Amino acid sequence: MRAIRVASAALLGLTALTFTAPSAFAGDGDDHNITPFGFSVQPSTIAAGGRLSLLLKRDGGCNGTVRISSGVFDTVTIPSGRSSAMATIDRDARQGAVHEVTFVCDGVSGHTNIAIGTGTGPGTGTGIGRSDDLSPVQVPVQQGVRAGVGGSVGGFDVKEIGLGAALVGGSVGVAWYMSRRRGASDDA
């Protein structure tokens, strides 16, 4: 009988501890962009037939050739030692559509999106992504997550710590009380 009480108290305490543990998450649900290298596309909205700048920041995490693919342009490679390339958007790309662009280096991949805007090529629509502009636009490059501290930096929330301690303490107290109460009724 005593073993059942101890097991019940242990299970209750473990359950309370599980519910007080913080849940881990990677931000907005977009965990496909954690890469050892930074990448971006410019512009993020482009006309069909326009030219897209594909930018890469290696940061020591990507030493080989980078392969970049999407459903609206032919696969492009950036050789080792280079940090940018250009791609031409298909002329039949549907206005308003959003397409994923995938960067792959050393077996690691990251994704970003581009939107197809108004216009059909050079000098039309918004002028975004004109094909007569062959120089890439210099912009800040998207970088991967700096991991390793596990959320331990950034301050403590005293209310959350107090609530967690109260829940754990309360569950242990209730388990102890229930085991003592049952022990007294079994002895009688």
What confidence score (pLDDT) does residue 123 get? 36
Residue 61 DSSP label: S
* Angle formed by the axes of helices 158-187 and 2-20, nearest 10°: 170
pLDDT tens, position by position, for the chain (188 residues)? 667 777 777 777 767 666 665 544 333 444 446 777 888 898 889 888 999 999 888 776 788 899 999 999 999 999 988 888 999 999 998 888 899 999 998 888 888 999 998 764 443 333 343 334 434 444 455 566 556 555 555 566 788 889 989 999 999 999 888 888 766 666 55
> At 142, is the secondary structure helix, strand, or coil?
strand
Q: How far apart are CA 144 and CA 63, in angstroms?
A: 16
- Distance CA(53)–CA(130), nearest Å, equals 11
CA 3 to chain centre: 46
CA distances from 2 to 7, 80, 182 (A): 9, 68, 9
CATH topology of domain 31-116: Immunoglobulin-like (2.60.40)
Give the whole-angstrom CA distance, residue 22 versus residue 80: 41
Beta strands in the chain (DSSP E): 38-42, 45-46, 51-57, 66-70, 73-78, 84-88, 98-105, 108-116
**AA letter at 144:** G
